[in-house]
Structure 1
Amino acid sequence: MHGLLTRAGYEPVVTDSIEAGKVEVAKLPPGAVIVTAMRLSDGTARELINWLNAEGYKFPVIAIVENLSPMELIEVMGDSGAVAIIQRPAIDKQLVETVGKYARPEHVVLTLGNQLIPRVSEAWKAVEEKVSAIAVTNANAIVFGECGTGKEQIARQIYLRSSREQKPLTIVEAGSAAFIGRHDPASDRSEIYDRIKSYFAKAAGGTMIIKNVHLLSFEKQSVLLHILETEHPDVRVICTAEPELLGMVANKSFRANLFYMLRQSDIAVPSLKETTEDIPVIADFFLKSYAAKTGKERKRLDASAIKALKLYPWLGNVRELKDIVLFAAFHAKTDTITEADITFNLSDTSVTYDLSLRNPQRERDQIIEAFHRGGSWKQASKLLNITEKTLISLRKKYGIDSNGEIQS
């Protein structure tokens, strides 16, 4: 059951007793569904349902039953009992569908899969062109970008558009337990070597994606370098990394020879705050997907909502935009989402919004960026943390007109 629900995009919590279940029920968010066996280690499904009713919990309960008589079924489902039952042999076919019938829309999980979200900025068009250019080669590549910018989708697209698309794809998270190993006294090779070697064997002739390669320890870097340098596996390696990887190479915490072997080509994914013109398009994509998955009417952003989204700094980038837009879609009272429907995840917006001018060589570009993000010179002064009078003086200094353009 746990595996079926997880693969369907839910986040199930598992307990084996009523007492443990009571603790977890208290933590459940609105819209959750409870699935229970008929008999638990310390009671029955009916006892659990009675407790839920007594405590005022309204979560739908789905009971998994086996060979019950009609009277027993009435006992389970009658008098504010279970909303549905599933015969145990039918779990594979009915569980996900039944849970989906009673789960509330805020728990709809939208996954991007392999696709790239359509965008309109020139910076993103350059990324798509680079994806196509790298895909037709056999070069290793690193996809650089901040958290939540969609690096894995880009890495997958390189694979899907390459000549290796019909060969295996292996994806490994550099910071996960998959790369943890201990020395095997019976072998002259470490378990780390055996694990990494097994990933290359699994991807033979195809592609390996190493997510967050900057999280590899120095020991694992050395093993990976050894395999690439001495064994020359027939595997293309595509890595994703946050920009800090470049600093790690500079301060020698990431091996330079491995870095250059992995970065035979690269793509720099722009952050969302650098491509604010993409925000309405991406948000609309999520709203359309949300409507399709929930069967609800599609909602749209009004001008106030779009302006608010463009002003937000987006430390979590596209992933954070998705969460905020879907939350707004669920809570909006009408089919139009306004600024009032949007809840941002900031405790102190003044700090995050601050684009204070600290580098004279970048002042002009920061002023123009603040104008386009804010939509007016008044908002730009707030983002730059300067007075409107000071901003007027700086505009004159750099020849910036009222439309945020450089005067010839």
Structure 2
Amino acid sequence: MNKVLIVDASSSDLRIMTGLLTKAGYDPVTAEDFDAAKEEVAKLPPGAVVITAMKFTRGTAQELINWQKREGYKFPVIAIVENLNDLDTIEVLQDHGAVAVVQRRAVDKQLVETVAKYIQDDDSTQSQDKPLIPRPSKEFREIEREVNMIGASNANVIIFGESGMGKEHIARAIYRHSGRTDKPLTMLEAGGAALVGRHNPTSEQGEMYNRIHGYFQDAAGGTIIIKNIHLLNFDKQSVLLHILSTEHPDVRVICTAEPELLEMVSEKTFRPTLFFNLREVDITVPPLRKSVEDIQPIAEYFLKEMASQQDDAEKRLDASAVKALRNHLWPGNIRELKNVIRLAAANVEGTLITASDLPISHSSPETKDSLKLRNPKMERQMIADAMAQTEGNITQAARLLGIGRTTLTYKIKQYGLK
């Protein structure tokens, strides 16, 4: 389960927040003073969130955030405040780096929802043998076939896909299907402080080279998974390219990347030679909105998983909930879907989840391939896709397409669509 650290001197409020988060399926840990908070932060896995009072024993939210920055920790911090208009509140948000604030008197209404926005899956605690979430779409069946085929090779792989599509799970599946499972597996985050290995000051090589090279030494014969390779800065790209192209280490490299990596290669902001060293083969994971038939099975998988973790009755989706899930574009993909299902299951009374129980946000950023009409040559197919996705509901299809209901009705007649 996802870890959440709560730092607060109030033992009663600690109990309340712990209860709320546990009920929602999280794994909270607590600290009441600054030293204990630092010890707990150091233990947190990737994807965790820190909740802190503005003031606690021998420390403040500002001091804790500043300490995290100095030490290279990048856990999102949610501050518990007394008054939203307080100057300290504004300062901790704007200058010190808290990602959000929750008023203490509104903890029961806002805390779980706020945590869900910033927490990420702790894949480091996942079992290495945990299979991919079963999905019926032909796109995902093709991915499973590619995983089996590529896993048996030693080729370097890049897994392309939008944020929240489970690219790291696919990377781990490739590792499990490889012949290197008896050798080390190293996980690195290209955009974070984690890509800083050990340094030998007596070496003639530069510090950055020594640190990155150390990972390959430790993973000899095994596999390195580099998450978000598109976030690797230019200097580290150069070092990684040198290691791969001149030293040819016996290490397989599996990378995950968002689609923008291809644009970066074209614009030469990512080294093309490094790209082709890393992308001997590739897998592309389509966004959830492109495989609508997977939405309900994935949601039901999470409901079953939550019931098992909490030893509770499994919640069910009614027809209105299924329809609402299928009609949403899911810019946050599977991660967003998981958070919505987690919140709905935690707060619904009884075992049946309806559309009104789903905390689906409609303030999400527009997806890059939004259905909004831009190219007249593609209009007919886009309208047909929108109508299919909304099961013929003209109002909902018009919203997906970014046009008015009257305009859509006219175009349906114009193109002879039913």
TM-score after normalising by structure 2: 0.70
Residue-by-residue CA offset, 1:75-119 (whole Å, 9 max, x unaligned): xxxxxxxxxxxxxxxxxxxxxxxxxxxxxx999998663431000
* Count of paired positions: 326
Residue identity opposite 1:355 in structure 2: L
CA 25–299 in structure 1, closer or farther in 2 if over 3 Å, else same: closer
What does 1:222-233 correspond to in 2, within 5 Å? Answer: 222-233=238-249
Helix, strand or coil for the counterpart of 2:179?
A: coil
Q: Which residue does the alignment assign to 1:332?
A: 348
Question: Structure 1 residues 30, 348: CA separation in 2 closer, same or farther (over 3 Å shift)?
Answer: same
Q: For residues 385-404 of structure 1, what are the structure 2 equivalents within 5 Å?
A: 385-400=402-417, 402=418
Q: CA deviation at 1:136?
A: 1.4
Structure 1 segment 8-407 matched on structure 2, within 5 A = 9-14=2-7, 18=9, 21=10, 25=14, 28=17, 31=20, 113=126, 114-180=130-196, 187-347=203-363, 355-378=371-394, 379-400=396-417, 402=418
CA deviation after TM superposition for structure 1 residue 211, in Å: 0.5
SS in 1 for 2:20: coil
Give CA deviations for 1:145-174 in whole Å, capped at 9, x if unaligned.
000000000000001001112221111111
Q: Measure how far apart 1:355 and its partner are.
A: 2.9
What per-residue deviation string (whole Å, max 9, x for no partner) do you get for residues 239-275 of structure 1?
0000110011011100000001100000000101111
Give ranges in structure 2 of 5+ residues lacking alignment: 22-27, 37-111
- CA deviation vs aligned residue, 1:1-32 (integer Å, no higher than 9, x gap): xxxxxxx64322356xx4xx579859947525
Q: Report the TM-score, using the length of structure 1 for normalisation.
A: 0.71
> CA shift at 1:143, angstroms?
0.2
SS state of the match for residue 13, structure 1?
A: strand
Counterpart amino acid of residue 333 in structure 2:
N
Question: How far does residue 368 in structure 1 lie from its aligned partner after superposition?
Answer: 2.1
Residues 34 and 188 from structure 1, CA distance in 2 versus in 1: closer, same or farther, beyond 3 angstroms? Answer: closer
Report if aligned partners of 2:264, 2:270 keep a CA contact under 8 Å in 1: yes
**What secondary structure sits across from 2:186 in the alignment?**
strand
Q: Distance in 1 between matches of 2:279 and 2:29?
A: 48
- The amino acid that maps onto 1:394 is K
Q: Which amino acid aligns with 2:265?
A: V
- Give yes or no for contact 1:182–1:192 (8 Å, CA) kept in 2: no
Q: Is 2:197–2:212's contact at 8 Å kept on the other side of the alignment?
A: no
CA RMSD of aligned residues (A): 3.4
1:300 to 1:349, Cα distance in 2 relative to 1, 3 A: farther
Residue aligned with 1:296, SS: coil
Distance 2:288 2:191 in 1: 25
Relative to 1, partners in 2 of residues 1:347 and 1:397: Cα closer, same or farther, differing over 3 Å? closer
Tell me the percent identity.
47
Structure 1: 5+ residue stretches without partners: 1-7, 42-104, 403-408
